[in-house]
Structure 1
Amino acid sequence: MTAVEVAVHEHATLGEGPTWDSREQRLIWVDILGSRVHTFDPDTGRRTVMVTEQHVGAAKPREGGGLVVNLRDGVGVYDGIDGFRWLHRELVPGRRGNDAAVAPDGALWFGTMRYDEAAGGGTLSRLAPDGTARTVLDSVAVSNGIGWSPDGRLMYYVDSPTRSIDVFDVGDDQLPVDRRQLAAVDDGLPDGLAVDADGCVWVALWDGGAVHRYTPDGTLDRVLELPVLRPTACAFGGADLTDLYITTARKGLEAPHPLSGSVLVVPGAGKGLPQPAFAG
């Protein structure tokens, strides 16, 4: 069993989207169905909880301060000054925001999915720093993990029900092209992901009770077994970006493990990459 510790004891229904905020030296994560954004300072143990307007798929730091959030009906900002304001709205009945990530150029990539997880009901879109939104992938099911190689030339993406981790080349316009499979996943559904400083891709496995690491050529070279069935996403954090934080869920489990819904951490798991803040 991997040396897994508990960073935050919590009973989140659908814990998701861990992100290390380097400026504030804290972890940000969400409980999607609880409509809550959590923060955690591992040095002091200080925690905060903010209730959002709607179900919240992801929350990321913003260069101008506050957080950009992927909500049920679109993307908005909590800036601590004006409260909440929308940046981009997409009102689609039966659909909500899911995972999101900030690209090296400061754009926000945000996914959607139907509540019933119907095939073709979700999208992946890019919100540029100037506020321009563009749908890049449509007809996906459960838009999940998003990440980039250390040099920014590759983009990784997960549509969970496909059981595939895919990779794209990043074009001069910062849009992905030439989609192909990096790796197929058999032990659970691939969910959120993180890319480390060596270009390896770490993926949380929903119903797989583990995090897998894949090398840039798609080889599975490390398995972190976890004490919960439904890890949802992972991110490197801590002052030196060597601790792997893992969010987990209780949703749909008749007899969840006592740690389901908590945030786990594997100290010294690897070396992560600094995550950019949203530039909009």
Structure 2
Amino acid sequence: MRYELAVREAAELGEGPTWDPVAGRLIWVDILSSRIHTYAPGTGRRTVLATEQHVGAAKPRARGGLVVNLRDGIGAYGPEGGFRWLLREPVAGRRGNDAAVAPDGALWAGTMRYDEAPGGGSLTRLAPDGTATAVLDGVTVSNGIGWSPDGRLMYYIDTPTRTVDVFDFDGRLPHDRRPFVRIEDGAGCPDGLTVDAEGGVWVALWDGGAVRRYAPDGRLDQVVELPVRRPTACAFGGPDLGDLYITSARAGQAAPHPLAGSLLVVPGAGRGLPGFAYRD
């Protein structure tokens, strides 16, 4: 599979690509620059929204606008602008990181410490009614989250473990955590993930310069080699959900590749699952 350049950008820490089918656009963030980017491949239109805090993720809301995982908690932007907090719980030295919306419309939002201190992060479920449930404590870098096509499995990455874990999922909470795949030494660390319509799990490898697809049984069956050293996350988009979009980072590199920080795309990589909007 061959990548193409979708959007040339110099993002410090590009992350969290998400397809918004209503608007026909891809949403992603530059965490350390406090910016939310959108890109409509049908027209080439781009927008940039500056946030007041580092933003780990931005996802569509069912009523329009965005739900965002910020440094001090979770907030919402309305369809015409305007911001309000949904869950504000600032912790010194900690920020929001990757997030995902489950089939029931709940937001799953992760955190991490800036210094990546072991056990300093968490994973929280924010229900559509605003109820917050701490699901995982003691994680280090809470990252990729996704669900199987039938919604009965949940995948999750705590990056320093070098493992993609899988849980049984009852529609609300995960149970019976176990390893799905472990990334071998020298191949990079697992970052963001997405699940395709066949149940394959695509994983971006930070410091690995690649995105891998693992079959539902955990077997490695596809590798997309990339010019950038730090791909961060991936998601299917486009009108038929057939194109794989990949975010990347420039941060922490003395001489990053010229495309580091850009949004890349692999046309016709597969078929993604329809996403979900947060139902607050």
Distance in 1 between the 2:79 and 2:231 partners?
A: 31
Is the aligned partner of 1:225 residue 2:232?
Answer: no
1:82, distance to aligned residue in structure 2 (A) = 6.0
Code of the residue aligned with 1:244 in structure 2: it is L
Misfit runs of 4+, over 6 Å = none
Code of the residue aligned with 2:179 in structure 1: it is Q
Partner of 1:182: 180
Same amino acid, percent of matched pairs: 72
Code of the residue aligned with 1:207 in structure 2: it is D
Gaps of 5+ in 2: none
Q: How does 1:135-154 map to 2 (within 5 A)?
A: 135-154=134-153
Partner of 1:61: 60
Deviations 1:164-215 (A, max 9, x none): 000000125x100000000000210000000000001000000000001011
Distance in 1 between the 2:32 and 2:79 partners?
A: 23
**Shift in alpha-carbon separation, 1:236–1:130, aligned structure 2, 3 A:** same
Is the aligned partner of 1:12 residue 2:11?
Answer: yes
Q: How does 1:1-280 map to 2 (within 5 A)?
A: 2-81=1-80, 83-171=82-170, 174-186=172-184, 187-280=187-280
Distance in 1 between the 2:68 and 2:170 partners?
A: 26
Distance in 2 between the 1:143 and 1:35 partners?
A: 19
Distance in 2 between the 1:80 and 1:147 partners?
A: 26
Secondary structure in structure 1 of the residue aligned to 2:160: helix
Taking structure 2 as the reference length, the TM-score comes to: 0.98
Deviations 1:5-26 (A, max 9, x none): 0000000000000000011110
1:94, distance to aligned residue in structure 2 (A) = 0.1
Gaps of 5+ in 1: none
Deviations 1:143-168 (A, max 9, x none): 00000000000000000000000000
Q: Is the 8 A contact 2:65 2:81 kept in 1?
A: no
Distance in 2 between the 1:215 and 1:43 partners?
A: 30
Code of the residue aligned with 2:234 in structure 1: it is C
Number of residue pairs the alignment of both structures matches: 278
Code of the residue aligned with 1:223 in structure 2: it is V
**Shift in alpha-carbon separation, 1:82–1:6, aligned structure 2, 3 A:** closer
Distance in 2 between the 1:224 and 1:4 partners?
A: 8
Distance in 2 between the 1:233 and 1:81 partners?
A: 28
Secondary structure in structure 2 of the residue aligned to 1:161: helix
